[in-house]
Amino acid sequence: MTERVNEYNTAITTLRKNEFLYSAWLQKYWDKNASVEFDRFMTSVREFDAAIHSINDELEAVNITKKKDKIDTKRAQDALKLMKPAVQKMRDDGRALLRSLS
């Protein structure tokens, strides 16, 4: 699990660190619509990231500090209630971005 968390953190950090560069490229090489779609996509990425972070303390307790054997079921269910719509929105916004680039 720790390896997956690290992979996710690396990916999200890289994406967000380069957000303004990607936006500039879209403005330069594509049209305004692509830039608008990218901004919408990045908003949904931030919303998904916030949903993921809602269980950071549980993940840390299980995978890092080993204070718990497993993630609390109620906390996991609450996090899923946030994550499912966030991931769907991110998927939809990502597809809209790709359509604007073609």
DSSP letters, 17-74, are HTHHHHHHHHHHHS-HHHHHHHHHHHHHHHHHHHHHHTTHHHHIIIIIS---SS--HH
pLDDT digit string (tens) for 29-44? Answer: 998 889 999 999 999 9
Q: Which pLDDT score, from 0 to 100, does residue 6 have?
A: 87
Q: What is the mean pLDDT of residues 35-59?
A: 92
**Domain residue extents for the chain:** 2-101
Query: What is the pLDDT at residue 84?
Result: 96
Judge whether residue 47 has pLDDT over 90: yes
- Structure pTM? 0.83
